Amino acid sequence: MKVLKFGGTSVGSIESLLLVKEIVEACEEQVIVVVSAMSGVTNELLAIVDEALKHRHADYTSRLHKLLKRHQSTIEAVVPREAQFQCSNAVESFVNDNLQPLAEMLDVNTQLDGSMVEIIRNAVVCHGEVLSSAIVSCMIAGAEPHFAPNFIKTCITGDAMVLDWKNTEELVKKEFVGSTVPVHVVQGFIASDFATGMKTTLGRGGSDYTAAIIAAVLGARQLEIWTDVDGFYDSDPRTNDQAKLIPEMTYEQAQKLCDAGAKVIYPPTIAPVAVRHIPVLVKNTFNASAPGTLIN
């Protein structure tokens, strides 16, 4: 079994989603597909929260409408005809019945305290991955959709919100062990507080971490991070045209590069897979035949 994580640009357009479909359907073993929100959507949801807090009803409503249209036009292009109606209705209901009322709550209730605003902000921001995963699970025939906050759990330790490993491990096993379904689809990034059930996140860029957690708990054969670059480079390829791709590195080397600001992988991702010796392959969705970077 492999865990494949697709980032925001990989699920961000019709063309890229069709590549994702090809990559997943070519797998000859069971796969768990972890997805980010479509590119730009998490930032857009945060902007919607800010506009609602400033009582700009027309502005956040129009942004929500554009968000819905973007997802619906994507569905028309990538989801098989027989599944389009159901998928489109689900997406419409997430936007109109969940997101719009949450934004209105922020707009209308001027007395909300900081912690209440934070709870609503998290509930809003979780929808990026909810929407993208709805599309990906409808796009791939026979894929089984899952809801990450049911099994990715956080807890408060001191002042910080951290992953609740013990409960997450138990719940991830319950969710997946014994299943023979060939393709599972899970939202990256989003979680819930074990004690209260409130929606939480694993931090910006946290979808990689979700994939690593699932791969580690289930002892996956490999974790694949599908992104929009060929892998790790020895310097920034955007500013240095002499930058060389690194074909293979150790977990320690990868951790150092991530900590130093290489944007390829979210830093907390490495530890759980390193401990269990699960190889991580970084691959480019837009150049799938390139070998990528193997971390082991």
What is the total residue count of the chain?
A: 296
Cβ nearer to ligand ASP, comparing 69 with 204: 204
Q: Does 204 bind ligand ASP (CB under 6 A)?
A: yes
Judged by CB under 6 A, the chain residues 34 through 93 that form the site for ligand ASP are 36-37, 42
Cβ nearer to ligand ASP, comparing 65 with 204: 204
* Alpha-carbon dihedral sign for residues 254, 258, 260, 261: positive
Locate 288 and state its tokens.
């799938």
Write down the least CB distance from residue 28 to ligand ASP, Å: 27
Q: Does 231 bind ligand ASP (CB under 6 A)?
A: no
Residue 285 touches which of Mg ion, ligand ASP, none (Cβ within 5-8 Å per kind): none
With CA atoms as reference, report the closest residue to 37 among 188, 210, 202. Answer: 188
Cβ nearer to ligand ASP, comparing 50 with 234: 50
Helix (H) or strand (E) run with residue 257 in it:
helix 251-259
With CA atoms as reference, report the closest residue to 227 among 138, 290, 142, 296. Answer: 290
With CA atoms as reference, report the closest residue to 15 among 66, 87, 78. Answer: 78
Site string for ligand ASP, 141-180 (x = CB under 6 A): ----------------------------------------
Cβ nearer to ligand ASP, comparing 8 with 272: 8
With CA atoms as reference, report the closest residue to 148 among 33, 257, 246. Answer: 33
Locate 260 and state its tokens.
């130093």
Q: Which residues bind ligand ASP (CB under 6 A)?
A: 7-8, 36-37, 42, 128, 188-189, 204-207
